[in-house]
């Protein structure tokens, strides 16, 4: 009996102490408000995990990047290599390249961490790109999330810049070729191009200042901006609520899903370890960026079959497809074959991405708030434009390896270049038209399924001698989803025709 009373008194004292601690924290911090956030609902559809994959890849990048900074020497001072990789013994190279070789061959676990960092960078960019596509095709950028869309596009631009800066740091022959192309792109800008090149490289190419400057950008400025924008992006996700797919009990005024703690936290933590594990396995079994095979950078040498990482491959393809156009004005030569694909084209592409939410709202007149995702088939024009853009990018990416493709399939590289040029002009509008027709056909199929039910696959003969297929009623959830996203087909068609005009 006394034992039970002592336990009750101990429990009361513990409860009193916890209440006092909570009151102390609440007087100084938003403690109770933060506790309410732990019950915030998160949708559990797989498509919402794409942003989390990008976030966790960024975490891996930060962890491995901090480790690599302990061993990397960001200087272009020349040294003679006498490390473990014997084929390069006695070769003159920069300290940046020599330290990269030391990380790969002389630091325990160095090659694994280097490759983990590189694979995480590729997955990070890929996840951001696919996440942006998911947001675009489902209309999740509409009011009130336009600002978050702008932040997402800016994150993608910063990630591209960060990836290129990190890719260039080892000062090997492949990355040096990329820097040479970047210098040519700077020089193509009228009037100020020469000054930009001298400012970036500190002297005539290659100079000795670029690697230290890229290193500062890569480990300080760009990660700081990425971290700040990621935090703002997540803050807006919390504030504006997640979008969600249509379903019973889901509306524009609520969010149905798992509470942040403990269910979402547990599943999200598991996803982090899965991402970390997959990247580690890739780093252990799939070789990437073997800088020792390329050798140190020399301005008079280019490695055979030089290909950049995939995220800048579309720029390489654009440079290869534009004909050698030049214009001389007042003694100044404009290199259109560099200026158009490397400056004007990416500028136009990202301008369209930034402006699209406002352009769509202007043409559709839709100013309402949207918290329920729109199925891609329910907006054929937007879906067609997205597919056309993906096709445009795919052609440029494939054109970036036209020499490798020509050698592999034993075709003329000139013929292949013209094939890519024609495809770049014809394929996007064709993809737009085909995608729109497919979306309308899917809408009609949904409307028929809503009116008649699901086909069972059983065919029977009618009294008149014809054949018809039997149907069974849709389940309540399916009927609700189709009913929520569908409306009169005549009205739908007239709306699409108006948007096309």
Please report whether residue 401 resides in a domain. Answer: yes
Within this chain, do residues 142 and 264 fall inside the same structural domain, yes or no? Answer: yes
pLDDT tens digits, the chain, 501 residues: what are they? 555 666 667 667 767 776 677 566 566 555 455 555 666 777 778 888 899 999 999 999 999 999 999 999 999 999 999 999 999 999 999 999 999 999 999 999 999 999 999 999 999 999 999 999 999 999 999 999 999 999 999 999 999 999 999 999 999 999 998 898 899 999 888 888 888 888 888 878 887 888 999 999 999 999 999 999 999 999 998 888 888 888 877 778 888 877 877 778 888 889 999 999 999 999 999 999 999 999 999 888 877 677 888 888 899 999 999 998 888 877 777 889 899 999 999 999 999 999 999 999 999 998 889 988 999 999 999 999 999 999 999 999 999 989 899 988 999 999 999 999 999 999 999 999 999 999 999 999 888 888 887 877 788 877 777 777 777 787 777 777 777 665 444 444 444 454 454
Nearest to 383 by CA among 439, 426, 442, 444: 439
Task: Give me the residues paired with residue 80 across strands.
Answer: 92
Last residue of a domain, one of 302, 333, 352: 302
Task: Give me the residues paired with residue 170 across strands.
Answer: none
Find the CATH number of the domain harbouring 285: 1.20.810.10
Q: CB-based contacts of 52: which residues, under 8 Å, 6+ apart?
A: 268, 271, 272
Instruction: Please confirm whether the linkage preceding 262 is cis (ω < 30° from 0).
Output: yes
Within this chain, do residues 65 and 213 fall inside the same structural domain, yes or no? Answer: yes
In angstroms, how far is the first alpha carbon of the chain from the final one? 85
Last residue of a domain, one of 252, 267, 302: 302
Measure the CA–CA gap between 70 and 196, rounded to whole angstroms.
31
Within this chain, do residues 258 and 382 fall inside the same structural domain, yes or no? Answer: no
Measure the CA–CA gap between 402 and 404, rounded to whole angstroms.
6
Within this chain, do residues 271 and 416 fall inside the same structural domain, yes or no? Answer: no
Task: Give me the residues paired with residue 259 across strands.
Answer: 41
Measure the CA–CA gap between 370 and 141, rounded to whole angstroms.
9
Residue with tokens 């199929």: 445
Within this chain, do residues 260 and 408 fall inside the same structural domain, yes or no? Answer: no
Measure the CA–CA gap between 431 and 395, rounded to whole angstroms.
12
Dig out the tokens for 436 from the structure. 């729109």
Dig out the tokens for 279 from the structure. 């990247």
Contact 397, 311 (CB under 8 A): no
Residue 71: which domain range? 40-302
Measure the CA–CA gap between 501 and 495, rounded to whole angstroms.
10
Within this chain, do residues 46 and 192 fall inside the same structural domain, yes or no? Answer: yes
Please report whether residue 64 resides in a domain. Answer: yes
Measure the CA–CA gap between 72 and 64, rounded to whole angstroms.
12
Distances (CA, A) of 210 to 76, 217, 230, 299: 8, 10, 27, 14
Please report whether residue 334 resides in a domain. Answer: no
Please report whether residue 395 resides in a domain. Answer: yes
Strand 92-94 and strand 258-259: pairing?
A: unpaired
What string of H, E and C letters represents the secondary structure of 95-157?
Answer: HHHHHHHHHHHCCCCHHHHHHHHHHHHHHHHHHHHHHHHHHHHCCCCCCCCHHHHHHHHHHHH
Half-sphere exposure of 383 (CA within 13 A, CB side): 18
Within this chain, do residues 102 and 191 fall inside the same structural domain, yes or no? Answer: yes
- Give the pLDDT score at 249: 77
Within this chain, do residues 289 and 425 fall inside the same structural domain, yes or no? Answer: no
- Give the pLDDT score at 491: 45
Last residue of a domain, one of 302, 328, 345: 302
- Give the pLDDT score at 301: 82
Within this chain, do residues 295 and 438 fall inside the same structural domain, yes or no? Answer: no
- Give the pLDDT score at 19: 66
Within this chain, do residues 105 and 239 fall inside the same structural domain, yes or no? Answer: yes
Please report whether residue 201 resides in a domain. Answer: yes
Please report whether residue 249 resides in a domain. Answer: yes
As for how many domains the chain has, the answer is: 2
- Give the pLDDT score at 37: 63
Please report whether residue 357 resides in a domain. Answer: no
Within this chain, do residues 264 and 385 fall inside the same structural domain, yes or no? Answer: no
- Give the pLDDT score at 473: 80
Contact 103, 114 (CB under 8 A): yes
Please report whether residue 167 resides in a domain. Answer: yes
Give the gyration radius of the chain's Cα atoms.
28
DSSP calls for 156-188: HHHHHHHHHHHHHTT-BHHHHHHHHHHHHHHHT
* Angle of CA points 170, 172, 174, to nearest 5°: 115
Within this chain, do residues 63 and 179 fall inside the same structural domain, yes or no? Answer: yes
What letter would DSSP give residue 278? H
């Amino acid at each position: 009996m006394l034992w039970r009373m002592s336990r009750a008194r101990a429990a009361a004292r513990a409860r009193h102490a916890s209440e006092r601690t909570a009151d102390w924290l609440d007087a100084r911090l938003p403690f109770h408000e933060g506790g309410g956030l732990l019950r915030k609902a998160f949708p559990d559809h797989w498509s919402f995990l794409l942003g989390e994959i990008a976030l966790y890849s960024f975490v891996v990048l930060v962890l491995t990047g901090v480790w690599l900074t302990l061993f990397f020497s960001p200087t272009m001072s020349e040294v003679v290599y006498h490390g473990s990789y014997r084929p390069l013994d006695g070769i003159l190279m920069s300290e940046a390249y020599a330290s990269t070789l030391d990380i790969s061959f002389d630091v325990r676990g160095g090659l694994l961490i280097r490759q983990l960092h590189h694979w995480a960078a590729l997955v990070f960019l890929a996840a951001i790109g696919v996440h942006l596509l998911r947001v675009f095709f489902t209309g999740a950028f509409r009011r009130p999330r336009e600002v978050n869309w702008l932040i997402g596009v800016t994150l993608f631009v910063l990630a591209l810049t960060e990836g290129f800066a990190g890719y260039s740091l080892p000062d090997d022959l492949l990355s040096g070729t990329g820097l040479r192309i970047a210098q040519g792109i700077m020089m193509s800008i009228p009037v100020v191009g020469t000054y930009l090149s001298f400012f970036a490289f500190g002297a005539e190419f290659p100079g000795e200042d670029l690697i230290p400057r890229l290193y500062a950008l890569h480990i300080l400025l760009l990660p700081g901006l990425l971290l700040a924008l990621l935090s703002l992006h997540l803050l807006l996700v919390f504030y504006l609520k997640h979008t969600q797919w249509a379903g019973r009990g889901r509306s524009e005024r609520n969010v149905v899903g798992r509470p942040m703690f403990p269910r979402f936290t547990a599943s999200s933590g598991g996803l982090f370890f899965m991402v970390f594990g997959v990247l580690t396995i890739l780093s252990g079994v799939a070789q990437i960026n073997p800088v020792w095979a390329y050798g140190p950078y020399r301005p008079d040498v280019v490695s055979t079959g030089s290909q950049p990482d995939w995220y800048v491959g579309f720029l390489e393809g654009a440079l290869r497809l534009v004909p050698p156009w030049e214009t001389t004005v007042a003694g100044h030569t404009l290199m259109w074959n560099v200026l158009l694909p490397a400056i004007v084209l990416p500028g136009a592409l990202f301008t369209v991405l930034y402006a699209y939410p406002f352009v769509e709202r202007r043409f559709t007149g839709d100013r309402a708030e949207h918290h329920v995702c729109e199925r891609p088939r329910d907006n054929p024009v937007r879906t067609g434009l997205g597919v056309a853009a993906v096709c445009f990018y795919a052609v440029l990416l494939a054109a970036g390896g036209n020499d490798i493709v020509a050698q592999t399939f034993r075709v003329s590289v000139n013929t292949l270049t013209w094939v890519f040029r024609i495809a770049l002009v014809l394929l996007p509008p064709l993809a737009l038209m085909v995608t729109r027709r497919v979306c309308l056909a899917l809408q009609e199929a949904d409307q028929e399924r809503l009116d008649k039910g699901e086909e069972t696959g059983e065919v029977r003969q009618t009294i008149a001698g014809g054949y018809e297929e039997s149907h069974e009623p849709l389940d309540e959830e399916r009927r609700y989803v189709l009913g929520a996203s569908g409306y009169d087909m005549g009205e739908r068609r007239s709306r699409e025709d108006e948007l096309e005009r």
